[in-house]
Structure 1
Amino acid sequence: MARHDHHAHGGTALKEAAREQLTEQGEQWTGMREAVFDALAGFDRPASAYDIAEAVSKVQGRRVAANSVYRILDLFVGSNLARRVESANAYVANNHPGCLHDCIFLICDSCGQAKHIDNDSIAKDVRQAAEKSGFAPKRPVIEVRGTCEDCA
């Protein structure tokens, strides 16, 4: 992946960028998908499907099943609208959905925050090491657990 500058979106611009990315891939931006994305983007730390289902349920005034949310989150991850924090079985909104990077998460064991950074050279090294072992990598997952600056 070539080095480039990308624009991180927030608020309404983030939702618009996500909608645009999803529809460019031939998917529909439905009311439920929008509600799940709004809930996901509203969390300040990685959120589980159950957290998101609860948030959407409160907004809609009806119970939303976590199974439905999982399907939408799978679509979002596949469409680069969200990232999955594997070790926490949780998700974060991708604030630059138009850019495709292998993501590196820095996860605080104290407060639960997950900061995502892009470092294409590290990701490239991981991919090359996998390929040298005869493995065809799809999506490297790099997570570093520790203590964030605020909790240190």
Structure 2
Amino acid sequence: MAAHHHHHEPQGAELSTAARATLEKSGEQWTTMRAQIFETLAGFDKPASAYDIAEAVSKAAGRRVAANSVYRILDLFVGANLARRVESSNAYIANAHPDCLHDCIFLVCDSCGQTTHIDNDRITSGVRSAAEAAGFSPVRPVIEVRGKCADCD
């Protein structure tokens, strides 16, 4: 297994197309609301909460969208690998490569909130191995490193 994953990072319409294909491959429908929520999430430059997304979609659609509806769709997106949840922030980011399954490492800046997603299969497989050695069956390791980004350091 390679130490680092390297991906083409689709953006905009290309990312939405990749997300739609991945969701439909899992047997789910790409509805108008799901598309709006994904595109809104992908448009944030930092992790966004369900409330942030609901507010932005509500403004764009000209009607109120409930945060509960957004949470349900975000849960679906996480399960389908379209989004990742930044646990410590209770916020979400769009997965820039939804067709690739791997564990993620988040670098979270305590000053500005910027969150960088990196892949390092060597580290994440080591976490999985350590969990298994302790008699634990890991389902979704979440690794977050808190600190300061280069812009805030």
Using structure 1 for the length normalisation, give the TM-score: 0.97
Matched with 2:145 is: 144
Deviation at 1:5, TM superposition (A): 4.1
Number of residues of Structure 1 aligned to a counterpart in Structure 2: 151
CA RMSD of aligned residues (A): 0.8
> 1:25-84, CA deviations, whole angstroms, 9 ceiling, x for partnerless residues?
110000000010011001000000000000000010000000000000000000000000
Distance 2:47 2:34 in 1: 18
Whether 1:130 and 2:126 are equivalent positions in the alignment is no
Matched with 2:50 is: 49
One-letter amino acid matched to 1:16? T
Secondary structure of the residue aligned to 2:152 is coil
Using structure 2 for the length normalisation, give the TM-score: 0.96
In the alignment, structure 1 segments of 5+ residues that lack a partner are: none
Deviation at 1:101, TM superposition (A): 1.1
Matched with 1:87 is: 88
Distance 1:24 1:104 in 2: 25
Matched with 2:63 is: 62
Secondary structure of the residue aligned to 1:38 is helix
> 1:81-137, CA deviations, whole angstroms, 9 ceiling, x for partnerless residues?
000000000000000111111000000001000000000000000000000010000
Distance 2:66 2:30 in 1: 19
Matched with 2:25 is: 24
- Percent identity over the alignment is 71
Matched with 2:115 is: 114
Query: Residue 6 of structure 1 contacts residue 99 of structure 1 at CA under 8 Å; is this kept in 2?
Result: no
One-letter amino acid matched to 2:116? K
Secondary structure of the residue aligned to 2:92 is strand
